[in-house]
């Protein structure tokens, strides 16, 4: 794999796509350090230090540190993801959107346009909630976070944060279209990875100061290696359904007759469920965290990382989005119809409706297993880390996203190279070299 990736520079189009991706991600990282006006940065950092390891910590992690510094990208890409979730759910319930989803490229563009509008609306709501809440907040030392509170600050913050999220949305779509990999996932990936040096430094500081015992540090390292290995193993695992194609004679030539397989991944939804689940939880938690004392503050405390209420809700949302995303992206009826059209069939299963039911049954079992796997990876490490008081960065959700996105991006690079018959992947790969 690594040997094959060394030949990336031999494919000009792929080189250009990678450079575009890296350049746009660099623009994103520069924007993280551009602050929103009207904020006392020292007081804000003290405030976030108090809530480290809570939902605010998770939000700041996904935003690449933009929230704790209250930069123009403080909202991150989460409003766009939330809007995508809402549109996908409405596609099932609203006939007009369902019709658009079946109109191919034209319908997809229309739904994307609605998603953009929804992103702006959600950004305005979240921007208002954060700006209003910050005016009520102070650092542990009593210093106000907002220098000059008032409606002018609120309007300026709403416009700034909404514009930042809209720009990130454009960056993500541009990376997907002109770069390599999924742009939205790569933006989240970049935000998490950029926290790695600080996380390592913080871990070493805790160890040298005696707050983190050597045995716990060693167990943490081993645990991370095991989790990463499990993620790589499961993400690459497949359930292969055998498919036999009948022989057909067209003119003087014979077609078909070969045996192949239909690959179904155990976790076909990838890193989407934890990202979507986190986004759904973050939306009310954003408002609740910055609200004054009252019932909203109670909700905020109930949704803290490590709390039983948060973990149950998180697991429930992971299961929901695993099944929902799989149902939206994989269509057993279409698979069965295409198989029947080209003379293919699953041995022992009647073509048509029975084949679709068979594929759907297998897909449901795989999705259930995948949902359990994602829940264990995301929840168990977070609970253990909360009990051991170790750095928040090493949570299972962040590891799943980092490893999953890295594997997906590497797979796309490999696909680009294979389509051009690059020999680096042909020498020892599983694809036979043409002569």
How confident is the model over 191-219, as pLDDT tens digits?
888 877 777 787 788 778 877 778 877 88
Q: How confident is the prediction for the chain on average, in pLDDT?
A: 79
- The per-residue b/e assignment along 397-407, b for 16 or more CB within 10 angstroms, e otherwise, is bbbbbbbbbbb
More confident residue, 147 or 292: 147
In this predicted structure, the answer to whether residue 42 has a pLDDT above a threshold of 90 is no
More confident residue, 141 or 106: 106
In this predicted structure, the answer to whether residue 154 has a pLDDT above a threshold of 60 is yes
pLDDT of 174 reads: 93
Question: What is residue 277's three-state secondary structure?
Answer: helix
The vertex-396 CA angle with 393 and 402, nearest 5°, equals 75
Average pLDDT over residues 317-327: 89
CA distances from 376 to 69, 268, 339 (A): 32, 16, 35
pLDDT of 297 reads: 63
In this predicted structure, the answer to whether residue 385 has a pLDDT above a threshold of 80 is no
pTM: 0.77
Of 51-60, 299-308, 352-361, the range with the lowest mean pLDDT is 51-60
* pLDDT confidence band for 54 (50 / 70 / 90): low
pLDDT of 434 reads: 41
* pLDDT confidence band for 162 (50 / 70 / 90): very high
More confident residue, 333 or 253: 333
In this predicted structure, the answer to whether residue 430 has a pLDDT above a threshold of 50 is no
- The per-residue b/e assignment along 189-215, b for 16 or more CB within 10 angstroms, e otherwise, is bbbbbebeeebeebbeebeeeeebeee
Question: How many whole angstroms separate alpha carbon 72 and alpha carbon 335?
Answer: 45
In this predicted structure, the answer to whether residue 378 has a pLDDT above a threshold of 50 is yes
Average pLDDT over residues 51-74: 70
pLDDT of 37 reads: 85
Angle subtended by helix axes 272-289 and 396-419, to nearest 10: 140
Q: What percent of the chain has pLDDT over 70?
A: 79
Taken in order of first residue, the domains within the chain and their CATH numbers are 2-425 (1.10.3370.10)
pLDDT of 51 reads: 60
In this predicted structure, the answer to whether residue 249 has a pLDDT above a threshold of 90 is no
More confident residue, 93 or 374: 374
Of 115-119, 322-326, 390-394, the range with the lowest mean pLDDT is 390-394
In this predicted structure, the answer to whether residue 158 has a pLDDT above a threshold of 80 is yes
pLDDT of 120 reads: 93
Contact 40, 144 (CB under 8 A): yes
User: What's the distance, CA 41 to chain centroid?
Assistant: 29
Q: What percent of the chain has pLDDT over 90?
A: 12
Q: Cβ–Cβ contacts within 10 Å for residue 317, how many?
A: 21
pLDDT of 23 reads: 92
In this predicted structure, the answer to whether residue 14 has a pLDDT above a threshold of 70 is yes
């Amino acid at each position: 794999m690594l040997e094959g990736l060394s030949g990336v520079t031999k494919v000009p189009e792929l080189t250009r796509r990678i450079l575009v991706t890296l350049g746009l991600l660099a623009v994103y990282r520069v924007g993280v350090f551009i602050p929103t006006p009207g904020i006392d940065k020292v007081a804000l950092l003290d405030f976030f230090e108090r809530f480290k390891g809570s939902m605010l910590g998770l939000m700041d992690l996904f935003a690449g540190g933009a929230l704790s510094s209250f930069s123009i990208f403080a909202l991150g890409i989460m409003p766009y993801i939330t809007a995508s979730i809402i549109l996908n759910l409405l596609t099932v319930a609203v006939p007009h959107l369902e019709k658009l989803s079946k109109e191919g490229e034209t319908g997809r563009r229309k739904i994307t346009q609605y998603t953009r509008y929804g992103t702006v609306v959600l950004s305005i709501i979240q921007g208002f909630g954060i700006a209003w809440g910050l005016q009520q907040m102070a650092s542990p030392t009593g210093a106000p976070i907002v220098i000059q509170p008032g409606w002018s600050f609120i309007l300026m913050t709403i416009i700034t944060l909404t514009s930042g999220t809209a720009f990130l949305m454009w960056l993500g779509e541009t990376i997907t279209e002109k770069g390599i990999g999924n742009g939205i996932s790569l933006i989240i990936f970049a935000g998490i990875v950029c926290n790695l040096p600080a996380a390592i430094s913080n871990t070493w500081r805790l160890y040298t100061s005696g707050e983190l015992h050597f045995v716990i540090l060693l167990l943490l390292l081993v645990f991370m290696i095991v989790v990463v290995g499990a993620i790589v193993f499961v993400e690459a695992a497949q359930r292969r359904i055998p498919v036999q194609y009948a022989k057909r004679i067209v003119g003087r030539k014979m077609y078909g007759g070969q045996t192949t397989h239909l690959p179904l991944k155990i976790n076909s939804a990838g890193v989407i469920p934890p990202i979507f689940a986190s986004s759904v939880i973050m939306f009310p938690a954003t408002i609740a965290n910055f609200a004054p004392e009252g019932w909203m503050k109670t909700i905020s405390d109930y949704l803290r990382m490590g709390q039983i209420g948060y973990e149950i809700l998180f697991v429930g949302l992971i299961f929901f989005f695993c099944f929902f995303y799989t149902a939206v992206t994989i269509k057993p009826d279409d698979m069965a119809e295409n198989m029947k059209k080209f003379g293919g069939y699953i041995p022992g299963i009647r073509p048509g409706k029975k084949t679709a039911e068979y594929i759907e049954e297998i897909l449901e079992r795989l999705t259930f297993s995948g949902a359990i796997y994602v829940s264990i990876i995301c929840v168990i490490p977070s609970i253990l880390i909360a009990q051991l008081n170790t750095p928040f960065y090493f949570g299972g959700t962040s590891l799943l996203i980092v490893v999953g996105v890295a594997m997906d991006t590497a797979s796309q690079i490999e696909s680009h190279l294979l389509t051009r018959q690059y020999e680096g992947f042909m020498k020892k790969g599983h694809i036979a070299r043409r002569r």
